[in-house]
Amino acid sequence: MKVNNIFLCLASLVLFSCAKDEKIFIPDQNYSINQEVILSQIIGNPKIYHIKLGAFPFIFFGPEGSIIEIPENGLTTLNGEPVSGDIKIEFKEFSGQKSNMLSAPSTLYKGRLFDGRKLVYLNISQENESIVINEPIFIYLPENRVSPKNGFEFFEGSADENNNIEWRRPDGSLNMIDISDWKVNHNEGSTIINGFKLPVHAATSWISLGSYPEPDTELKGDICVEIPHEFNSHNSLVYFIADQTNSVLKVNQNSAGDWSLCAHQILFQKGIRGKFVVISDLGQENYFFGMTNAVLENDTNMSIKPEKRSLKEIKEALQSL
C-alpha cells in the first residue's frame, strides 16, 4: 500500500509538471554576442550626412559645434580622380556622453590608459565606395576646458587583422596639440571657434586627443572581473568606464584558473574611480546587465552577477554613467 502511495505521488508530480509546461532556457555556450549590433541598439550609430560638395575649401557644419574643412583636391577616388558631387559623411564625437564610450576603442596606448579628451570617428564615402584623402582635411572641435600644462597628445586609430582599433602617434610636430582660437572662412563670412584643429589623413579614421596622469601617480596591474559560468568572452562585453576622465577599457581576455575576464598589465592612475559594466546576450533576446562602482588599486578583482534586463532597461541604466 505504501508503494502504491509513492507511485501515485510520483505520477501526480509528473502530471503537475507537464501541466505547467515550463520552458527552461539553456544558454548556448558557443553563442557569440554581436558587439556592433547590440551597441547600436543601446547607444546608437554615428550620424550620417548626405551632402553636396561645393566651392573649396568646402565647409561642413557638424553636430555640437564641430566643423569639417575639406580643401581643394583633398578627396580623390581610388583611381586618383578628384571627388565632386554628393558624398556621405559618418561622424560621431564620443566624449560628450559617458555611455558613448562603450562604442569607442579602449583609450589605451602601449598599455597605458589615457584620458581621451576628444574622441572622434569619421568616415567619408561616395556611392558606398571608399575614397582617398589626398591632402589632410581638418576637424574643428569646440572646447571650453583648460589644456593640461603639456598640451594633448594626438592619436590616430587603425584596425588590426582582428578589426580591433590600435592607437598610434604620428611622427612630427602634431604630437602635442593645444586649445586655440581658429578662424574658419566660408561662403557666409567666417566663424571663430575656440578649441582644437585636428588633421585627418584617412577617409575612415579614429582620432583622439589624450593626456596622461603624472608618472608618480600611476600603478601597473591586472584588472579582472569575475562573472557567473554561463557568461564568457563570447557572449559578454565587459568595460571599465572612468568617472572623472574620458577613459574606457574593454576587459575581454580570459583569465587562467578562474571564471574571469581581464585586462593584463595595464598602467593607470592610482585610485582612479569608475564603473565596471557587463552587457551579455545569451541568444533568443535573453539580455543581461550588471554595473558596479570600483576604484583601481594595483591588481583589481571585481565580481559581478548580471541580471536579466530588456535593451530599454539597459539603455536607461547606462544614462547614470
Q: What is the mean pLDDT of residues 38-59?
A: 93
What is the residue type of 135?
A: E
Cβ pair 249, 237 in contact under 8 A? no
Higher pLDDT, 164 or 190: 190
**Predicted local distance difference test score (pLDDT) of residue 145:** 73
Helix (H) or strand (E) holding 7: helix 2-20
- pLDDT, one tens digit per residue, over 243-275 is 999 999 999 887 655 568 899 999 999 999 999
- pLDDT grade for 21, boundaries at 50, 70 and 90: low
State what percent of residues in the chain have pLDDT above 90: 61
**Predicted local distance difference test score (pLDDT) of residue 159:** 82
- pLDDT grade for 122, boundaries at 50, 70 and 90: very high
What contacts 307, CB < 8 A, 6 or more positions away? 288, 289, 290
Whether residue 29 is predicted with pLDDT greater than 80 in this model: the reply is no
- List, by residue range, all CATH 2.60.40 domains of the chain: 215-318
Least confident of 100-104, 109-113, 161-165, 184-188: 161-165
**Predicted local distance difference test score (pLDDT) of residue 6:** 43
Cβ pair 237, 248 in contact under 8 A? no
Span 215-318: which CATH code? 2.60.40
What contacts 289, CB < 8 A, 6 or more positions away? 277, 278, 279, 280, 306, 307, 309, 313, 314, 317
DSSP state of 145: S
- pLDDT grade for 8, boundaries at 50, 70 and 90: very low
Bridge partners, residue 107, by sequence: none
Q: Hey, what's the torsion of the CAs at 103, 104, 107, 111, to 10 degrees?
A: 80
Residue 157, φ and ψ in degrees, nearest 5: -110, 140
Is the alpha carbon torsion for 226, 231, 234, 235 positive or negative? negative
How far apart, in whole angstroms, are the C-alpha atoms of residue 84 and residue 27? 51
Q: Which residue has the cell 561662403?
A: 187
**Predicted local distance difference test score (pLDDT) of residue 172:** 59
What contacts 285, CB < 8 A, 6 or more positions away? none
Joined grid coordinates for residue 61: 557644419
What is the residue type of 183?
A: K
Joined grid coordinates for residue 214: 603624472
Joined grid coordinates for residue 236: 559578454
Using DSSP bridges, classify how beta strands 218-226 and 300-303 pair: parallel, antiparallel or unpaired: parallel
Identity of the highest mean pLDDT range in 120-134, 171-185, 258-272: 120-134
Higher pLDDT, 213 or 51: 51
Mean of per-residue pLDDT scores for the chain = 86
What contacts 297, CB < 8 A, 6 or more positions away? 219, 270, 271
What contacts 29, CB < 8 A, 6 or more positions away? 230, 232, 234, 235
**Predicted local distance difference test score (pLDDT) of residue 299:** 84
**Predicted local distance difference test score (pLDDT) of residue 74:** 92
Whether residue 202 is predicted with pLDDT greater than 80 in this model: the reply is yes
DSSP state of 103: G
- pLDDT grade for 169, boundaries at 50, 70 and 90: confident
Least confident of 69-73, 86-90, 124-128, 215-219: 215-219
> Check: CATH 2.60.220 for 39-211?
yes
- List, by residue range, all CATH 2.60.220 domains of the chain: 39-211
Q: What is the mean pLDDT of residues 23-48?
A: 83
Whether residue 32 is predicted with pLDDT greater than 80 in this model: the reply is yes
